[in-house]
Amino acid sequence: MSESSGPIAAPAADAGNPLLAAWTTPFETPPFAEIRPEHFMPAFEQAFADHAGEIAAIVNDPTEPDFDNTVTALERSGKLLNRVAAVFYDLVSAHSSPELLKIDEEVSLRMARHWNPIMMNAVLFGRIAALRDKAARLNLTPEQSRLLERSYTRFHRAGAGLDEASKARMAAINERLAQLGTSFSHHLLGDEQEWMMELGEGDTEGLPDSFVAAARAAAEERGLPGKAVVTLSRSSVEPFLKMSSRRDLREKVYRAFIARGDNGNDNDNNAIIGEILSLREESAKLLGYPTFAAYRLEDSMAKTPEAVRGLLERVWKPARARALADRDALQELVTEEGSNFKLAPWDWRYYAEKLRQRRANFDDAAIKPYLTLDGMIAAAFDTATRLFGITFQERKDVPVWHPDVRVWEVKDADGAHRGLFYGDYYARPSKRSGAWMTSLRDQQKLDSAVAPLIINVCNFAKGAGGEPSLLSPDDARTLFHEFGHGLHGMLSDVTYPSLSGTSVFTDFVELPSQLYEHWQEQPQVLRQFARHYQTGEPLPDDLLQRFIAARKFGQGFATVEFVSSALLDLEFHTQPAASIGEVRAFERKELDKIGMPEEIALRHRPTQFGHIFSGDHYASGYYSYMWSEVMDADAFGAFEEAGDIFAPDVAKRLRDDIYSSGGSRDPEEAYVAFRGRKPEPDALLRRRGLLDTPEAA
């Protein structure tokens, strides 16, 4: 049941398989250099067998259920499975190969077949339910009470209370959904790997040297030394659309980017989406819910689709109004230049950058030389040290899965070891797009203190020829965002594995990450760590002030592209699956319904919306980023009200109530404990500069 694993003894069988042997590496970390694709299936087989035996022992225990022989026993089970799976999924996402992707297809099905009979086991569920019924008499700690309730909820929502026929159908659905989600992500990766655009003579007009250097590094990574290529990584596409003065090439890159998974080839995801939606709806109805969104949101802070729609529509109106006003201003710029074309989606970023330069006297190219990757890593670490007292020391002796991966040992203020932090920052063909946090081992102290192994993966452009990687302001914000997730894992201080770190509601999990973004844009942080990569000079004060003034520029566009995706996610999972029909037509119909400006694309079109279709973690839950933003905008206000962005008493509450407590508390209770009240909803609109829009009133 647990989602983490502590050190485990090596099984006697197959000591030649590094996944099944004791790890003698520093901090008992995975020996990546020794692990080969062929090791995984035997390791999974052993792990499945071990876990099944552990579950059988709980189910067949003749003694009366108590917390220790049922809930705690579940927490102790599955250590080997968690250990093998953590390594496997890290590699599949961050450094895949055709061999690993092939294994992933089999593992996803086997994993579903392994978990289905566990999560639907009537005897196991009966033991948990019996304990829940008499919880008040069990003298449990608050964390134990929370774990019991969450355990009951997980089994109940998995279908453990269904009749046998419904369980069989639910198991079949889960298996098929696992296969479909894996296929969706493989298709998306396939389309991203197969496309690139070479930049020839004259194709670099408007592109700064830093972008061209990154394009050369991307070409070299793909075995094309001396060339320069644009790839379908967001970190390549968005700067190109912003800076390239070649409108024809912008259109070519844009169309390729939004067509991922929608090309009618072997990587097409349209049919997969239809089947996923039908199966999710069927599973929700088996459990007694009218829609998948109703099922999914019941176990969240939002609780209902209506609450989600209310938040999104509250933000949509002022954001759309701001975006439409910006669109008119961008069209005027096109006309001013003597062009007579109508503004198109591939023009927006390019002309928005021109408008920002005019209105705020600021452009990304001016600040980028000051935002080196190393400088922003140092800024993220220093912020954590000043807030929470933890320190970071780079380690060269810890095995990694790719030479670019770096590792730091994290220590508490008293010098005690807290965990390891892995940073995998550069884009490469073997890595899926996006940025994420995950773990190789989660914190717990059930039987002994287990220190976490936390990972941040990003897709920043690598500098060429020994030049450092230079980040855009968005890249720097992404680094802080993922590091905020990382801190949620590193600072976790709970007893039970299932409640560790980021094991919280989806619409709460983005609070620690989005809150941490605030420090990246603080003057005292930038003055110290934003230094020119060639001269070492600090960020000039006038440029700093212009950057701060420009932060709210373009929020209409950014909010529209996000909220439209979140609303589409909600519609996919509230409308009858049979009525959706052709995905592209449904997308168009829903965007017309909300008045989506045709010059702005969804942040994630359906066929590339991995958040909701590569698995179900964010299905009906993409809104979570905005739900959490209501809290993070309000939460940072606690530091502003204290007059110190590193106020020790506020930072202590932040650590104790938010970052350290994992899933051991109800999230609303945790937030109120930190802030002293519920969040103020208008904080989000205020942060995005949308409160002064008429529709916000």
Residue 647 half-sphere exposure, CB side, CA atoms within 13 Å? Answer: 15
The count of other CB atoms within 10 Å of the CB of residue 167 is: 21
Instruction: Report whether 101 contacts 92 (CB < 8 A).
Output: yes
Question: Please, which residues bridge with residue 454 across strands?
Answer: 421, 439
The count of other CB atoms within 10 Å of the CB of residue 617 is: 12
Known catalytic residue at 641: no
Using alpha carbons, list the distances in angstroms from residue 271 to 133, 220, 258, 582. 44, 35, 17, 9
Tokens, residue 421: 């932090």
Tokens, residue 170: 């639910």
How far is it, in rounded angstroms, from Cα 202 to Cα 90?
A: 40
Backbone angle region of 419, left / alpha / beta, with phi > 0 → left and psi within -120 to 50 → alpha = left
Question: Please, which residues bridge with residue 372 across strands?
Answer: 470
Closest CA to 315 of 558, 590, 637, 677: 558
Instruction: Report whether 97 contacts 430 (CB < 8 A).
Output: yes
How far is it, in rounded angstroms, from Cα 446 to Cα 551?
A: 45
Instruction: Report whether 573 contacts 277 (CB < 8 A).
Output: yes
Tokens, residue 617: 């973690």
How far is it, in rounded angstroms, from Cα 189 to Cα 491?
A: 32
Angle at 96 between CA 92 and CA 102, to 5 degrees: 75
How far is it, in rounded angstroms, from Cα 59 to Cα 52?
A: 10
φ, ψ of residue 321 to 5 degrees: the values are: -60, -45
Closest CA to 659 of 423, 389, 414: 389
Residue 277 half-sphere exposure, CB side, CA atoms within 13 Å? Answer: 26
Match 């004259």 to its residue by tokens. Answer: 202
* Structural element, H or E, at residue 325: helix 305-336
Residue 211 contacts by C-beta under 8 Å, 6 or more apart in sequence? 239, 240, 243, 461
Instruction: Report whether 48 contacts 81 (CB < 8 A).
Output: yes
How far is it, in rounded angstroms, from Cα 14 to Cα 20?
A: 7
Residue among 482, 517, 587, 590 flagged as catalytic = 482
Closest CA to 664 of 499, 450, 512, 508: 499
Match 């910006």 to its residue by tokens. Answer: 326
How far is it, in rounded angstroms, from Cα 311 to Cα 302?
A: 10
Closest CA to 471 of 406, 382, 603, 374: 374
DSSP state of 369: G
Helices within 463-576 (DSSP H only):
473-490, 506-520, 523-529, 541-550, 555-572
Q: Is the Cα torsion angle 512, 607, 598, 340 positive or negative in sign?
A: positive
Tokens, residue 414: 């008293």
Q: Which residues are catalytic?
A: 482
